[in-house]
């Protein structure tokens, strides 16, 4: 094997190298002819010329009479010209202009008499005639090469007699998933099963990029099997994606398979995620077929396709690859990155207080939801160690800037009601966009303070006063600039297995249980710390008290999965998992809103929703909430 | 009949009125469930929640050993901890974390000994474990309502056990073409046949807007037949387009048909083109079905769909209708418009000399090619009489501003070689955009002078000197600012019917023929005027000398169609139509280029092409050209 270790090509260099290699090998678009009426959105392979004129005959453009203009010369209001019956012809709109006529006079201007017709004005040659070729002349180029056909272009082609157009054949992309643990998507997988959803993602991306996709069955981690399927895909497709096994470990057979059926151009790119990428190719007759080894994690695969394979598909499909749009954004928190790689970090973007703020999302390569939430991708260049909070960085946009500017940024404590608000908002106003992140109550306070969020949910108990939220707001915003808005009262309690098999009665039982906690700074963590202190229980006596989750539902999931016996959370989360729930106390979950955001349209929409019956009905369904004038401002600071 | 005349609702008012009427009648999206793997690009009808966690089990994220972190406490470089064989488990990446373990130690950090394994550092709980629900917790809202599903969203849904999603059913739009003269597209229609291409245009637009379309056979202009097909379409579709017959004339049956099967909300909108529009509806059970009468000309139909029907389809499809983008552009020539209508005028846009210039295109409602060429649509408000040349107007963009800014604007004399240059340019650089208009040589000089074009083709004979172009440039650009670039020498001659049946030998024969001329200001017109003067022939002695066409091919088309016996033009145009050609003289066709445009990338590309073998080969194929150092600057002014 020629490649036993990964190289570390800078991204640009890898892209250039691969495109050049493919070009030199003779990669080019394939051509097919399709009926014009079915060519919407296709790319012309050659210039297309009109076969007939449009209009294809001299057509009367009005109902009236056709004649020679010279017959009317001298006619006026006072000296009408009279034309005998056989010296003109009655015509309707769309009729061919009769021979020896050169104009049409509208029926409204024709007076019928016994001697024939009278005209009270002179006509000019070619008036009310749509002349042959007026729109398009036969032989004119209607559409040049490599141009996407719009519906009107199809109309113009049909009007000019072009019944069939030479277009670029959509590249067929073969996708071969490999891996022993892969199972088809299912709603009740066994532990250890890896759900194979990558091919659905990649297939969708290929279709969005104007290709066809062909997904092969899952192939197990055996070199000879992978080679057999690779050969099949080469025979049937124009480009093949092998996913995964693209690294250089013992169970990574992609590079060997690609070398067996073709050649490897390079293996290993200095990007993160996505380093273990293989760029190769083979030829069948004159046809060059790029062969790509993609890393297994979905996030890695998506990024490699976007950054390296999209230009190759552009070359094959004739589609112009629009350069990505970038924006300068303020990074909300410190980001450490390696000097060895160009690193891509998904981020939420929002315009808060006049500047664009990027909030980095979970970097895990398996965290596919990060792509659903992301508005952009922070590019941390290869020679940069990262960014301090507040520094500016280049962010590639994943959504139009206009939407990002309209986006309401909610950062704070997690409660499912936030998602319900988002849903009501989208159902009510189609131009509503919300970015919400769960970082706990303290995280929300800091985000609003740093100008990274318009608002956030908070439920922080002040141990001294026993009061919720107000004291914190006074403490963290001594100079004001925020308001506190009433949202809900909700029940906090211990979530335990369904039927409460361990007989948990309250906080006092925790030292004998495996606990799952919330992260420091979350209101629920403050609450449990306070309750333990009140009852004189040492947190270190509780097993796994340091196991931290970011949301109520993640805590509930851990209890439901049996990896923990109890966790503090809200009733609605326990209900979702059908868990037992031991109520402990009521707390106030309010919204902290930046004063400058208050007049914004999205915030006003939010307040409208908080006060709506629809919101009350959704909370009723979730359970564990009490409403008392939601949407009311309870503290100006 | 309730509606015998057309009303004149302002556009906004008509749109609001119709949307409100549909809303009150209960129009809403229809819902269907589709497999998640097939839902790319679809719109969610409801919020979608995770059914399982992702990951759905605590998964080892590394190859190594699984154990309890507490077993390793105190381990260090100098004091390793030794674990006996049965106190840990070997695991691979992706394996479920074994019971009673809470972390994984990488195989690289594990030293195997006879007593078991040695660890030289302490592990922390949950290290190298992808915890259950780390990405998505069951019960979390993965995607809210009315959201377009991206490929990554499909991945997230499959990862969270959602096998099927409720999405909005694509609205099915029925398209009924009506009209006795309509014939299916063909490359040899008879005079009087109207080629039915509107349904292809409308069908493509519907698909581009996320709908399905169903095109019915052409229905003749009989009220009872139209009603039968309308009823059929209502039973099968969610919205019906009736095209045409939407006006109030004797052969316009649409309004009567819609009143028979439903009701008319309004008939007649104050827009041009597009006034005779019918907005109606009917109901089938609980389902509201909008019924639209569209005007017959393609340009009118397209505009009515864009301006009035797109928001209705947005309501039905749940797709966000992005507000159109507008730009302020300088109008290149005087535009007169009626105070009675909001008028839409297609225009080419280009950035010349730092400002955006809009060049109005042919306003004809039948001129479908104007939509292919247009970069934008000038909106002339209802209360505005038009614009003077040089005034600014609001133009709706049809292409991204970025492309418009990169567009090379060529305005001048027509020659098919310009189209060939455009084609070569697109084949060579996928980010090349060219807007070219044929306005004759003098038109080109004026366009460059007024800063509306970067360059233009010119071939103007100076009667005094017998020299081409140079004298004109000196005269019209006394202060300089332009260069003249050599392009081609070409043969001008008389185009006559194939085989020259009338035995034309030269200019002297013209007085006995039906002539077709080029427009005043074109180089060819200057030439023929000059030649007639030279030979002492009075132009008024030539029949139809005042019939003017804008291009060589349009002149050739007139001769080919037999509506003229002769016309002056270039050999390549005659060849396209297989006409006879009597050479008269050689002329210089040069390019006049604004000096400020000379360093622009698109101009440099153009020069590269002029000097290329590919260009020479294409001219050879067209015929009638001689090349002598094309791309050389022959006059700086």
Structure tokens at A112: 């019928």
B141 touching chain A per CB within 8 A: yes
Mean pLDDT of the A359-365 span = 86
By C-alpha distance, the chain A residue nearest B126 is A547
For residue A445, give the DSSP letter. H
Instruction: Compute and round to an integer the Cα radius of gyration of chain B.
Output: 35
Distance CA B116, CA B112 (A): 6
CB contact under 8 A, A208 and B416: no
CATH classification (class only), B59-130: mainly beta
Contact pairs from chain A to chain B, CB under 8 Å: 335
Angle at A453 between CA A451 and CA A454, to 5 degrees: 100
Distance CA A202, CA A205 (A): 5
The values of phi and psi at residue B305, to 5°, are -60, -45
Nearest to A549 by CA among B98, B56, B126, B101: B126
By C-alpha distance, the chain B residue nearest A551 is B137
Are B234 and B240 in contact, with CB atoms under 8 Å apart?
yes
Structure tokens at A454: 């318009």
Query: Taking chain B (637 residues) in consecutive chunks of 10 residues, what is each chunk's mean pLDDT?
Result: 72 97 96 98 97 92 92 93 94 90 92 93 90 87 96 96 98 97 94 95 97 97 96 98 86 93 97 96 97 95 97 93 91 91 94 92 84 94 93 95 93 93 94 90 94 95 90 94 96 97 96 94 93 95 89 90 93 92 96 96 97 97 93 88
pLDDT in tens, B347-371: 999 999 999 999 899 888 778 888 8
Are A558 and A549 in contact, with CB atoms under 8 Å apart?
yes
CATH classification (class only), A339-398: mainly beta
Q: Strand pairing partners for A411?
A: A437
Q: What is the pLDDT of residue B1?
A: 40
What ranges do the domains of chain B cover?
11-28+170-317, 31-55+134-168, 59-130, 326-399, 426-636
Calculate the CA B157 to chain-centre distance: 34
Q: What is the pLDDT of residue A4?
A: 55
Question: A379-388 b/e with 16+ CB inside 10 Å = b?
Answer: bbebeeebbe
Find chain B residues with C-beta within 8 A of A173's C-beta.
none
Structure tokens at A349: 């973007």
Strand A182-183 and strand A194-195: the pairing is parallel
pLDDT in tens, A592-616: 999 999 999 999 999 999 999 999 9
pLDDT band at A1 (very low <50, low <70, confident <90, very high): very low
Per CATH, A11-28+170-317 and A339-398 having the same topology is answered: no
Per-position DSSP letters for A176-198, written without gaps between them? EEB-TTEE---SSPPTTPEE--H
pTM: 0.92
Residue A463: C-alpha distances to residues A439, A459, A467, A471, A531 (Å): 21, 12, 8, 10, 10
Architecture of domain B326-399: Beta Barrel (2.40)
Q: How many helices (H) and strands (E) does chain B have?
A: 17, 38
Structure tokens at A382: 């290869």
Candidates A125, A161, A544; nearest CB to B544: A125
Q: What is the pLDDT of residue B4?
A: 55
Are A288 and A281 in contact, with CB atoms under 8 Å apart?
yes
CB contact under 8 A, A372 and B156: yes
For residue B528, give the DSSP letter. H
Instruction: Work out the minimum CA distance from A369 to partner chain B, whole angstroms.
Output: 5
Distance CA B348, CA B453 (A): 11
Q: First CA to last CA across chain A, in angstroms?
A: 68
Instruction: Compute and round to an integer the Cα radius of gyration of chain A.
Output: 35
Per-position DSSP letters for B189-201, written without gaps between them? PPTTPEE--HHHH
Mean pLDDT of the A277-301 span = 96
Q: Could you tell me where the DSSP H helices lie in B318-373?
A: 369-373
Are A569 and A495 in contact, with CB atoms under 8 Å apart?
yes
3-state secondary structure of A254: helix
Q: Which residues contact B43 (CB under 8 A, 6 or more apart)?
A: B29, B146, B147, B148, B149, B167, B168, B210, B317, B318, B319
pLDDT in tens, A209-218: 999 999 999 9
The values of phi and psi at residue A605, to 5°, are -65, -40
Q: What is the pLDDT of residue B238?
A: 98
Candidates A140, A200, A423; nearest CB to B37: A200
Residues within 8 A of A (CB atoms), B 265-324 only: 298, 302, 314, 318-321
Distance CA A187, CA A298 (A): 19
Residue B422: C-alpha distances to residues B103, B419, B429 (Å): 64, 5, 11
Nearest to B350 by CA among B600, B589, B590: B600
Percent of chain B with pLDDT strictly greater than 70:
99
Percent of chain A with pLDDT strictly greater than 70:
99
Find chain B residues with C-beta within 8 A of A139's C-beta.
416, 553, 556-557, 573, 576-577
A166 touching chain B per CB within 8 A: no
Distance CA A342, CA B228 (A): 65
3-state secondary structure of B57: coil
Nearest to A50 by CA among B580, B419, B362, B563: B419
Strand B408-412 and strand B434-438: the pairing is parallel
CATH classification (class only), B426-636: alpha beta
Write down the residue that tokens 């800078």 correspond to.
Answer: A10
For residue A406, give the DSSP letter. T
Distance CA A390, CA A388 (A): 6
Residue B27: C-alpha distances to residues B16, B291, B312, B318, B345 (Å): 14, 12, 9, 12, 32
Candidates B56, B133, B372; nearest CB to A152: B372
Architecture of domain B11-28+170-317: 3-Layer(aba) Sandwich (3.40)
Sign of the Cα torsion A146, A149, A152, A157 reads positive
CB contact under 8 A, B56 and A366: no
CB contact under 8 A, B426 and A146: yes
Are B351 and B405 in contact, with CB atoms under 8 Å apart?
yes
A76 touching chain B per CB within 8 A: no
| Cβ burial, residue B83 (10 Å; 0-12/13-18/19+) | buried
Mean pLDDT of the A182-196 span = 94
Can you give B119-156 as a three-state secondary structure string? ECCCCCCCCCEECCCCCECCCCEEECCCCECCHHHHHH
Strand A64-67 and strand A103-106: the pairing is antiparallel
Q: What is the pLDDT of residue B3?
A: 43
Q: Which residues contact B45 (CB under 8 A, 6 or more apart)?
A: B29, B31, B145, B146, B166, B167, B168, B318
Q: Strand pairing partners for B215?
A: B175
A35 touching chain B per CB within 8 A: no
Distance CA A255, CA A230 (A): 12
CB contact under 8 A, A185 and B431: no
CB contact under 8 A, A573 and B138: no
CATH classification (class only), A31-55+134-168: alpha beta
Residues within 8 A of A (CB atoms), B 191-210 only: 191-195, 197-198, 200-205, 207-208
Length in residues, chain A: 637
Q: With both helix axes pointing from N to C terminus, report the angle between A254-261 and A223-236 in degrees, rounded to the nearest 10.
A: 50
Length in residues, chain B: 637
Classify residue B285 as left (phi > 0), alpha (psi -120 to 50) or beta.
left
Per-position DSSP letters for B423-442, written without gaps between them? HHHHHH-TT--EEEEE-HHH
Candidates A41, A192, A198; nearest CB to B96: A192
From the CB of residue B191, how many other CB atoms can be counted at a distance below 10 Å?
A: 14
Q: Which residues contact B502 (CB under 8 A, 6 or more apart)?
A: B496, B509, B513, B565, B566
Can you give A338-361 as a three-state secondary structure string? CCCCEEEEEEEEEEECCEEEEEEC
Half-sphere exposure of B8 (CA within 13 A, CB side): 6
CB contact under 8 A, B561 and A57: yes
Classify residue B384 as left (phi > 0), alpha (psi -120 to 50) or beta.
beta
Nearest to B359 by CA among B472, B456, B484: B456
Mutation target vs A (from B23, B31, B141, B152; most A CBs, 10 A cutoff)? B152
């Amino acid at each position: 094997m020629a490649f036993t270790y990964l190289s570390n090509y800078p991204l640009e260099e890898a892209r250039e190298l691969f495109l050049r290699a493919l070009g030199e090998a003779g990669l080019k678009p394939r051509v097919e002819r399709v009926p014009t009426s079915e060519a919407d959105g296709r790319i012309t392979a050659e210039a297309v010329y009109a076969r007939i004129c449009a209009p294809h005959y001299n057509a009367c453009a009005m109902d009236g009479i056709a004649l020679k203009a010279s017959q009317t010369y001298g006619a006026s209001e006072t000296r009408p010209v009279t034309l005998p019956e056989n010296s003109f012809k009655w015509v309707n709109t769309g009729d061919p202009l009769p021979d020896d006529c050169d104009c049409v006079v509208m029926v409204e201007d024709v007076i019928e008499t016994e001697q024939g017709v009278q005209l009270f004005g002179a006509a000019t040659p070619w008036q009310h005639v749509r002349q042959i070729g007026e729109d398009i002349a036969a032989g004119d180029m209607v559409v040049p090469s490599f141009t996407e056909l719009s519906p009107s272009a199809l109309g113009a082609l049909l009007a000019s007699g072009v019944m069939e157009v030479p277009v670029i054949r959509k590249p067929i992309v073969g996708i071969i998933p490999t891996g022993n643990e892969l199972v088809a998507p299912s709603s009740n997988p066994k532990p250890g099963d890896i759900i194979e959803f990558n091919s659905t993602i990649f297939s969708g991306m290929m279709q969005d990029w104007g290709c066809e996709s062909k997904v092969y069955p899952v192939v197990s981690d055996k070199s000879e099997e992978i080679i057999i399927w690779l050969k099949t895909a080469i025979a049937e497709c124009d480009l093949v994606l092998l996913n995964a096994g693209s690294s250089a470990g013992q169970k990574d057979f992609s590079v060997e398979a690609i070398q067996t059926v073709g050649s490897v151009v390079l293996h290993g790119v200095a990007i993160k995620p996505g380093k273990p990428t293989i760029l190769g190719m083979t030829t069948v007759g004159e046809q060059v077929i790029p062969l790509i080894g993609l890393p297994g994690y979905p996030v890695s695969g998506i990024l490699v396709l976007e950054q390296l394979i999209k230009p190759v598909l552009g070359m094959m499909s004739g589609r112009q690859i629009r350069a990505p749009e970038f924006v300068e954004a303020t990074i909300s928190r410190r980001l450490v990155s390696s000097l060895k790689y160009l690193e891509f970090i998904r981020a939420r973007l929002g315009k808060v207080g006049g500047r664009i703020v990027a909030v980095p999302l979970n970097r895990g390569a398996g965290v596919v939801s990060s792509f659903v939430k992301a508005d952009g991708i922070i590019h941390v260049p290869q020679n940069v160690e990262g960014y301090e909070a507040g520094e500016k960085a280049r962010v590639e946009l994943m959504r139009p800037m206009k939407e990002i500017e309209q986006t309401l940024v909610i950062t704070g404590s997690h409660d499912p009601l936030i998602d319900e608000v988002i849903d009501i908002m989208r159902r009510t106003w189609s131009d509503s966009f919300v970015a919400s992140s769960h970082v706990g109550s303290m995280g929300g306070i800091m985000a609003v303070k740093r100008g990274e969020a318009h608002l956030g949910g908070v439920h922080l108990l002040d141990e001294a006063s026993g009061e919720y939220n107000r004291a914190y707001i006074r403490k963290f915003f001594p100079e004001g600039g925020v308001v506190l808005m009433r949202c809900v009262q909700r029940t906090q309690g211990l979530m335990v297995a369904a039927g409460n098999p361990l007989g948990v009665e309250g906080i006092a039982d925790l030292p004998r249980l495996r606990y799952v906690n919330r992260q420091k700074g979350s209101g629920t963590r403050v609450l449990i710390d306070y309750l333990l202190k009140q009852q004189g229980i040492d947190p270190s006596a509780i097993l796994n008290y340091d196991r931290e989750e970011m949301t109520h539902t993640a805590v509930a999931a851990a209890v439901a999965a049996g990896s923990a016996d109890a966790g503090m959370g809200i009733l609605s989360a326990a209900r979702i998992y059908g868990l037992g729930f031991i109520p402990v106390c009521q707390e106030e979950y309010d919204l902290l809103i930046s004063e400058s955001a208050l007049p914004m349209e999205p915030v006003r929409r939010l307040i409208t929703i908080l006060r709506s019956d629809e919101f009350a009905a959704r909370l009723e369904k979730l359970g564990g909430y009490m409403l008392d004038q939601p949407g009311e401002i309870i503290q100006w600071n």
